[in-house]
A and B are shown apart, each in its own frame.
Chain A
């Protein structure tokens, strides 16, 4: 039997940032268990985007802090991160109106988004064709990072600070006694610990059932494709709001073009790639980037938005079992929230309250109380 002060279940960006924050703050012995390889759940499948331009105060405030931490961590740990912005395109007048409202909301919270015209869009993405009447909502502080670089930089720093990371080790159940967690049973033995952080994506649901907690999580499949590398073509992540499937495109920091488009909103655990995905994503972007015709697609893959009923994460203690903390249900935004997730969960464990405080609104009991948060822009 192994002993620890805290066990983190999940070796993705949420679990690793949490483990790192715990270790930095002197939380004692921290052990991370990951059922596959590091980042294999959602982290390494993501679209790499990072933004604070959301439509709820909770998301905006948490992501403002996360962006600050992305800057600090990318320097301290040496992974790549760039504030190249996010650009939403609007072809319909109603969409432009919606964007104006959103921009007012963002500005009121200190996120400097603005409406731009076709000329400025051309300046930002010179290789894209847009009609005169197209407008954009531009978020200059949004950006992107390299998920592979992030995962391995985090793992290295965690190990340097004494965190034990066990990959290919599946957490099977949480063990509780007198409504307190006492440890985690894994495929490689029992780990005794008074604190367990469950940051296991959709797996969080099964794990918390073992202590009688039902977490409302549903996996919604999404797909992405990537092309061969090109020279640096454009910096912002671009989202075509009025095109079918609301497709996005981003040039990764490696130079590949990564594209996605929504095929379904139905929850499913099916990992097969629907035929229509490649058509949907490529047809939309071929209209905007005619030169794509002669670019090669290398791969496409599935991933899941692990969604909650209000599309906001579940953070913090579960309440009924002392010592169990949840960090899951980002509904498509787990990668960008990674740094703030680590701070929220570590401060909750060590100080008894989260930092930033607004995370208190995202505890699991909001679903029972009916205090859901609303979010409209769930893209990228």
Chain B
């Protein structure tokens, strides 16, 4: 079962990484690159939170959420560098 489509991470990958000792969202994210692709975790991180919460026997809300990183949604370089300022 695929958990993260951008980075092609399966449920089996997640379970193995948890077994290896990645017991928090940031470690799992870095170990598997889950949530590091174009969707920036919108789809996979909520699923990951549920899997990890169940494995650790804690409430999903106790696991927090990975640090948000701007620009939050994939954004063209041309928009971020503000070329309209220069040309307009």
Contacts and interface: CB of A to CB of B under 8 A. Distances in A.
- Which among B38, B69, B81 has the highest number of chain A CB atoms within 10 Å? B81
Contact of B30 (A44, A156, A159, A254): A44
Interface string A11-37: 000000000000000000000000011
B27 A37 contact: yes
Given A152-B31, A228-B38, A297 B77 contact: yes
Given A296-B74, A298-B38, A282 B80 contact: yes
A355 B71 CA distance: 44
Contacts of A168: 23-24
Interface in B1-45: 20-24, 26-27, 30-31, 33, 36-38, 40
A127 interface: no
A45 to B, nearest CB: 11
A1 interface: no
Interface residues of A, number: 35
A176 interface: no
B66 to A, nearest CB: 11
Contacts of A187: none
B78 A293 contact: yes
Interface in A242-298: 254, 273, 278-279, 282-283, 286, 292-298
A38 B76 contact: no
Nearest to A155: B21
B82 interface: yes
Interface size class of B (residues with CB under 8 A): 20 to 34
Contacts of A292: 77-78
B70 A148 contact: no
A226 to B, nearest CB: 9
B69 A300 contact: yes
A167 interface: yes
Interface residues of B, dominant DSSP: loop
A282 B69 contact: no
Interface residues of A, dominant DSSP: mixed
- Which among A40, A254, A298 has the highest number of chain B CB atoms within 10 Å? A298
B75 interface: yes
A279 B78 contact: no
Interface string B63-75: 0000101110011
A299 interface: yes
Given A297-B71, A298-B38, A301-B69, A283 B81 contact: yes
A282 B70 CA distance: 14
A293 B27 contact: no
Nearest to A44: B30
Contacts of A283: 81-82
A296 B26 contact: no
A239 interface: no
Nearest to A271: B67
Interface of B: 20-24, 26-27, 30-31, 33, 36-38, 40, 67, 69-71, 74-78, 80-83
Interface of A: 36-40, 44, 148, 151-152, 155-156, 159, 165, 167-168, 227-229, 254, 273, 278-279, 282-283, 286, 292-301
Given A167-B27, A278-B71, A298-B36, 8 more contacts: A37-B22, A37-B24, A151-B30, A156-B20, A168-B24, A292-B77, A297-B71, A298-B40
